[in-house]
Amino acid sequence: MSATFADAARRLAGQAGALLGWRPEEFWRATPEELAAVIAAFTGGNDGAGLGGGELAALMEQFPDG
């Protein structure tokens, strides 16, 4: 069965919300390249140049969200 654009967009919007905390407007404003880069960073698909857990924790402490 072939997925439609709406099915794929719904799935990606849900993933962006769950993984990144993006609201729908942030998802729809992002370019496919931006979304791919962010997802690659989360999944390790960026040639190993991602942050380690300690680095991420330090950044989260330094730059807390609200």
Of residues 61, 65, 63, 15, the one with CA closest to residue 38: 15
Domain total in the chain:
1
pTM assigned to the model: 0.54
Residue spans of the chain under pLDDT 70: 1-2, 45-52, 66
Residue ranges making up the domain that contains 30: 5-62
Between CA 41 and CA 8 the distance in angstroms is 20
Q: What pLDDT score does 52 carry?
A: 67
Residues 6+ apart with CB under 8 A from 23: 17
